[in-house]
Amino acid sequence: MKKVLVTSTSFQDTPGEHQIYLNSQGFEVHYLRGPLKAEVLLPIIGDFDGIICGDDDVNREVIEKCKQGNIKVISKYGIGLDKIDLVAANEFGIPVTNCPGVNQITVAEHVFAMVLSYFKNIIHENSIIQNGEWVRLIGRDIYGKTIGIIGLGAVGKEVAKRAIAFGMKVVAFDKIIDEEFGRQFGIDYLKSVEELMANSDVISLNASLNHDSTGLINHNNMAQLKSGVVIVNTARAGLIDQDVVLNGIEKGIIAGYLTDVLEVEPMVPNHPFLGNVKIVITPHIGSRTYENVERQGKMSVENLLKYI
């Protein structure tokens, strides 16, 4: 009997057709709660024929163990492949799949859930009311603000559509320019990240993380940020230097940092973001809805079946 390991907690925690689909294949299915470090995967990975993984540390050593063992495919639940050594996977002939074109609407909704919660003081007001007080804070409109989208791919385009519906002006930076989309929705493509930083009231980070995009917003270009900017990150923590966030908030340049992703997940104890009222954190749930987990889960199973 073929053995499959599932480490994605979203896949495990959400009942639905994706679980029924996997369990109907006649596999021996094992579950571990990720994201798993390489040292956890190394002694066990070779025993399985396939893995449906989340953001586990699938480094070169793990890939080599896959090759030495029975692994036929690494099926990523989700889109980002930055935690998987793709060079090693190609070298050792281990297929790696992901789930593109599935979660963009769900993540775009999360972007605006965070933006609106921040601009309208929803989180602070609820905390005040739950403590039995009645304090009416002053919020802000997003109408008329300029949102700069870094990474105008599938998710970024859905963010843009919703921003336009809210009456925001949209500017974007991406190495690949979709001129037809830009014309259709009146989006200005800017020539650099720095130009976008200087002209955006809100910045939405929606780029994939790779060698070129790591630290897109960093200490060298931090001064280009428009004063009072709100940055929302539903992509990868490594797109912006963590110290830039803290320094920018301290200097009053960054008014708020709203993030669904951290460099280490789960969050480490005593993280420097904790206790900062200008930082809003959700635990990597941007794509974690019943509808979307089922969609992504079924695709990850389908990808698995192509190779097993």
50 and 156 co-located in one domain:
no
pLDDT digits (tens, 9 = 90+) for 127-165: 999 999 999 999 999 999 999 999 999 999 999 999 999
Q: Is residue 109 located within the same domain as residue 69? A: no
Mark whether 118 and 208 lie in a shared domain. Answer: yes
* The model's pTM: 0.92
Residues 134 and 24 in one domain: no
Coil vs helix vs strand at 299: helix
82: amino acid identity, one letter: D
Which residue's structure tokens are 């995967």?
A: 41
Task: Say if residue 167 is in the same domain as residue 155.
Answer: yes
State the residue range of the domain holding 131: 104-281
- Across the chain, mean pLDDT equals 97
Q: Looking at the structure, tell me whether residues 260 and 131 fall in a common domain.
A: yes
Asked whether residue 111 falls in the same domain as residue 97, the answer is no
Tokens matching residue 301: 């199973």
Average pLDDT of the segment spanning 259-265: 96
Q: Are residues 256 and 138 in the same domain?
A: yes
Residues 44 and 135 in one domain: no
For residue range 273-295, list pLDDT tens digits in order: 999 999 999 999 999 999 999 99
* DSSP reduced 3-state for 248: helix
Judge if 164 and 299 occupy the same domain. Answer: no
Q: Convert 173-209 to b/e letters by CB count within 10 Å (16 or more is b).
A: bbeeebeebbeeeebeebeebbebbbbbbbbbbbbbb
Are 17 and 291 in contact by the 8 Å Cβ rule? The answer is no
CATH label of the domain that carries residue 18: 3.40.50.720
List active site positions. 236, 265, 284
Contact 142, 305 (CB under 8 A): no
Q: What is the pLDDT of residues 38-64, one digit of tens each?
A: 999 999 999 999 999 999 999 999 999
Q: How many domains does the chain have?
A: 2
Local structure of residue 226 (DSSP, 8 states) = P
- Same domain for 298 and 215? no
Average pLDDT over residues 178-207: 97
pLDDT of residue 218: 96
Residue 135: helix, strand or coil by DSSP? coil
Q: What is the pLDDT of residue 97?
A: 98
pLDDT at 117: 98
Q: Which string of DSSP letters, residue by residue, matches 13-47? A: HS-SHHHHHHHTTT-EEEE--SSPPHHHHTTTGGG
